[in-house]
């Protein structure tokens, strides 16, 4: 299907239709070579991201942890300390092979290189299944200003379903990446649980921590006025843990301890790990699910691939009793995870507010 839009675009419903309904995404918009950012992507001043390029000011940085000896108490301590203090860290020598990472990145470019009509097959209201969801921005129905990003979210149920329903150009690479990361995910959770006095992860806990996995292929195309918009607005993830693979472009910022925004520099072969709201709740606030956001880029197309490791929709999450053993008062109540997720997706990105839903 050839793009049915004429330049210059002035009608805002025409843009929504082109991006969201016709499956062109912001990638399609970017490739039209617009001279300026369409109005609906202009973010309010307070949400725009001013990139500090003054390299003379030394910036704090999130920890980089070598996982080679992950059972070494010092490594375990570094992981737990990072999860408490920053909620974010990078891991190297994590055991996921570099070629698996490169393959899934190449496959992501292949997916986005498909014609819009192909990608559109996976969009809401078109796809007969919910296994893959291709879309643009975060929640276009709820948002006052749109975000400069396309995504494809794959929900893992079984290999059979993935073979049947995931896009053939990337399904093997995505599955392989997901499977290779499982060992790393288990190790991280094992270490993090120990500090919460959970010495063994039994089957019930394992399902609660990592029973449901979603993997996103994110695409942030070149933007005509990156300073006026965002790639992703301020949010925290609703996951237990997120394992993010980013390319060499950069642009992810994390809220630091002094309320400043700290850049997460790309490191070849590394993975960025962050605590999500579910783990913040289960740890009774000990591990922090930290706000983060992504800038739009004026010169290069960026991709990122987060694996969201989640409780299952039917799980009821709350602080683990072991984490409260010392008499600590719970600050979160029991919530049905599917309700929590529903609450997140029905509003626009709003920083750290989602977790209030679970506060006592």
Residues lying near Ni ion in the complex (CB under 5 A) are found at 237
* CA-angle at 286, arms to 282 and 289, nearest 5°: 75
**Could you give the residue ranges of the DSSP H alpha helices within the chain?**
12-16, 25-31, 73-85, 98-112, 116-120, 159-165, 171-195, 203-210, 277-282, 337-345
Residue among 237 and 315 whose Cβ is closer to Ni ion: 237
Binding residue (CB under 6 A) for ligand OGA from 101, 252, 309, 323:
252
Interacting span for ligand OGA (CB under 6 A) from 89-97, 154-162, 183-191, 244-252: 244-252
DSSP code for 271? E
Judged by DSSP in three states, 259 sits in: coil
Q: How far is CA 193 from the centre of its chain?
A: 22
Query: For 358, phi and psi rounded to 5 degrees?
Result: -105, 0
Smallest gap, in angstroms, from Cβ of residue 238 to ligand OGA?
9
Residue among 22 and 216 whose Cβ is closer to Ni ion: 216
Question: Could you say whether residue 5 binds ligand OGA (CB under 6 A)?
Answer: no
Residue among 237 and 277 whose Cβ is closer to ligand OGA: 237
Binding residue (CB under 6 A) for ligand OGA from 232, 271, 278, 358:
232
* CA-angle at 156, arms to 129 and 237, nearest 5°: 100
Residue among 149 and 286 whose Cβ is closer to Ni ion: 149
- DSSP assignment of 176-229, as one string? HHHHHHHHHHHHHHHHHHHHTT-----HHHHHHHHSEEEEEEEEE---S-GGGS
Residue among 147 and 237 whose Cβ is closer to Ni ion: 237
Tokens representing 9 are: 């675009």
Binding residue (CB under 6 A) for ligand OGA from 246, 270, 283, 354:
246
Site string for ligand OGA, 295-314 (x = CB under 6 A): ---------x-x--------
Report yes or no: 170 and 303 within 8 Å, Cβ to Cβ. no
Site string for ligand OGA, 259-298 (x = CB under 6 A): ---------------------------------x-x----
Between the CA of residue 31 and those of 44, 85, 316, what are the distances in Å? 25, 41, 44
Residue among 22 and 304 whose Cβ is closer to ligand OGA: 304
Q: How far is CA 18 from the centre of its chain?
A: 25
Neighbours of 66 (CB within 10 A): 13
Site string for ligand OGA, 201-230 (x = CB under 6 A): ---------------x-x------------
Smallest gap, in angstroms, from Cβ of residue 232 to ligand OGA?
5
- From the list Ni ion, ligand OGA, none, pick the one residue 246 interacts with, judged by a Cβ distance below 5 to 8 Å according to partner type: ligand OGA
Question: Could you say whether residue 245 binds ligand OGA (CB under 6 A)?
Answer: no
Contacts to ligand OGA by CB under 6 A: 216, 218, 232, 237, 244, 246, 252, 292, 294, 304, 306
């Amino acid at each position: 299907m050839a793009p049915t839009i004429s330049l210059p675009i002035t009608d805002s419903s025409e843009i929504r239709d082109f991006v969201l309904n016709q499956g062109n995404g912001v990638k399609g918009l970017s490739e039209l070579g617009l001279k300026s950012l369409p109005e609906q992507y202009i973010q309010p001043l307070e949400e725009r991201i001013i990139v500090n390029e003054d390299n003379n000011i030394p910036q704090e940085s999130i920890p980089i942890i070598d996982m080679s000896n992950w059972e070494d108490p010092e490594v375990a301590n570094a992981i737990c300390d990072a999860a408490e203090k920053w909620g974010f860290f990078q891991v190297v020598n994590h055991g996921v092979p570099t070629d698996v990472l490169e393959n899934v990145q190449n496959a992501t470019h292949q997916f986005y290189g498909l014609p819009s009509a192909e990608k559109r097959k996976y969009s809401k209201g078109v796809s007969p299944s919910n296994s893959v969801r291709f879309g643009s921005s975060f929640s276009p129905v709820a948002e006052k200003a749109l975000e400069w990003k396309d995504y494809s979210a794959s929900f893992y149920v079984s290999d059979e379903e993935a073979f049947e329903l995931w896009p053939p150009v990337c399904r093997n690479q995505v599955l392989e990446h997901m499977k290779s990361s499982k060992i790393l995910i288990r190790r991280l959770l094992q270490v993090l649980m120990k500090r919460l006095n959970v010495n063994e992860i039994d089957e019930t806990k394992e399902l609660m921590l990592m029973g449901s996995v979603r993997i996103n292929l994110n695409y942030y195309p070149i933007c005509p006025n990156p300073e006026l918009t965002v790639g992703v607005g301020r949010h925290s993830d609703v996951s237990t843990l997120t394992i993010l693979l980013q390319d060499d472009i950069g642009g992810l910022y994390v809220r630091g301890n002094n309320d400043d925004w700290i850049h997460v520099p790309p490191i070849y072969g590394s993975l960025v790990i962050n605590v999500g709201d579910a783990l913040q709740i289960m740890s009774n606030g000990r591990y922090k699910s930290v706000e983060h956001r992504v800038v739009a880029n004026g010169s290069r197309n960026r991709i990122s691939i987060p694996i969201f490791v989640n409780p299952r929709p039917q799980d009821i999450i709350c602080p683990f009793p072991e984490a409260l053993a010392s008499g600590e008062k719970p600050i979160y109540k029991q919530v049905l995870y599917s309700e929590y997720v529903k609450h997140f997706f029905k509003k626009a990105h709003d920083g750290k507010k989602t977790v209030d839903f679970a506060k006592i």
